Structure 1
Amino acid sequence: MHVAIVLYPGFTSLDVIGPYEVLGRLPDTEVVFVAEQPGLVRNDLRSLSINVVAGLADVPEPDVVLIGGGPGQADQMADGNLHEWLRTVDRTAAWTASACTGSLILAAAGVLNGRRATTHWAALGNLAEFGVTPANERVVIDGHYATAAGVSAGIDMALTLAGFLAGDDMAQAVQLIIEYAPEPPYHAGSLDVAPAKAVEIAKAKLSGRLS
């Protein structure tokens, strides 16, 4: 199985590294990072770069294509080579997936038209602009599309995909291998439960970063 994870300048690391850790541990699976401009691609915090060796043309028929989000997503919304590639590979891929605001890129490319999808809570309403039904859920499966809410939800989405691709036993084994059993010290992981002050600070920090 061939998994292609799309990178672009300003991506959020966990959006892609979480799913990479999960999907890369499935049997007979090769994960490749792909970018419109191969080379060192720097994340949103500008302190981590991934050396991408594959261009879009080098990966014409992945079984799974996944794109993450991050502030750089805003620069990937115009139709162009990336959107054309996404539309092309979507026709043959078993799964087209996203984490965080990566779903906005898929939506702008037209592949989520008429579908339900999710994204980071700060950008959820934007999906409707592209003919997508926003779903305030951590993971949404609609047809062969799998979308995850913000950042860490990409791990949940990838484990869900792992179950479809390799069976529940293997997906659970991968979950055990990466010891994914979250016990966060705070009850502030969603708008529904986060204290008002935390929401205020988060919105201020995200202002201008998420479309």
Structure 2
Amino acid sequence: MSFRFGFLVFPNVQQLDLTGPYEMFASATGAQMHLVWKDLATVRSATGLMLTPTHTLADCPQLDVICIPGGAGVNALLLDEDVLQFVREQAAGARYVTSVCTGALVLGAAGLLKGKRATTHWNAVDYLARFGATHVEARIVKDGNLITAGGVTAGIDFGLAVVAELMGQQEAERVQLSLEYDPHPPFSSGTPRQASPQLLALARERIAPSIAAREAIVAEWEKRTATV
């Protein structure tokens, strides 16, 4: 049996949010991979990697798994009704509706997080409640057919978890073995709980401009949806 996996790819996407789970999905038996955007022009990721869509929003087939990655480019999507409507329509027919990192905010803006348990990057968890979700502090959170992953590298673990959901644990373990996924990071500072106060302050300082911009956009989203 084959499964269609589709990722929304957009300017300033965080490429590892996409390429981490993409590698896991693409390594699974029978996977059909789709990168979807408004047109087929090459898209520049937040760190400069160029990604080429395979389908437009208009011609994308119904996906079995729709995945929204995160990154600074998420901000522009939160008020983009063309993108949000595409996500809603795909979600209605997908077996699993998923996100990595701040991609969860796009699901929220599309109205797909209401009453759901979810997670996202640690710097964005406060937004989940504003979209009607309950934050769960976990690397992967499953609520019905909604599966959300935490920040960036969580997408790799998430990818294996989704493969297991669709094809069974043995197939997921085969993919893990074929990619020799056996992480042993050289440092223990991958979450706010583990990082020193000084390191956490530095990280927050670096992302402060993006957070400020996102706050204004989410406030505008709240204003628009309150009048609907």
Instruction: Output the TM-score relative to the length of structure 1.
Output: 0.96
Greater share of residues in helix:
2
Counterpart residue number, 2:203: 202
Mapping of 1:139-178 within 5 angstroms?
A: 139-178=140-179
* Secondary structure of the corresponding residue to residue 52 of structure 1: coil
Counterpart residue number, 1:107: 108
Structure 1 letter corresponding to 2:176: Q
Counterpart residue number, 2:192: 191
Q: How far apart are 1:14 and its partner, in Å?
A: 0.3
Q: How far apart are 1:174 and its partner, in Å?
A: 0.6
Determine whether 1:19 maps to 2:32.
Answer: no
My pick for the range that moved more, 127-136 or 147-156, is 127-136
Mapping of 1:107-126 within 5 angstroms?
A: 107-126=108-127
Structure 2 letter corresponding to 1:104: L
**Which 4+ residue blocks in structure 1 deviate beyond 6 angstroms?**
none
Instruction: Output the TM-score relative to the length of structure 2.
Output: 0.89
Counterpart residue number, 1:97: 98
Deviations 1:72-104 (A, max 9, x none): 101100151111111111111000110000000
Q: How far apart are 1:191 and its partner, in Å?
A: 0.8
CA distance in structure 1 between the partners assigned to 2:146 and 2:38 by the alignment: 22
Rg: which structure is higher?
Answer: 2
Counterpart residue number, 1:41: 43
CA distance in structure 2 between the partners assigned to 1:40 and 1:16 by the alignment: 15
- Preserved contact between residue 83 and residue 109 of structure 1 (Cα < 8 Å): yes
Structure 1: gaps of 5 or more residues: none
State the identity %: 35
Counterpart residue number, 2:7: 5
- Tell me the number of residue pairs that the alignment of Structure 1 and Structure 2 aligns: 210
Structure 2 letter corresponding to 1:96: V
Structure 2: gaps of 5 or more residues: 215-228
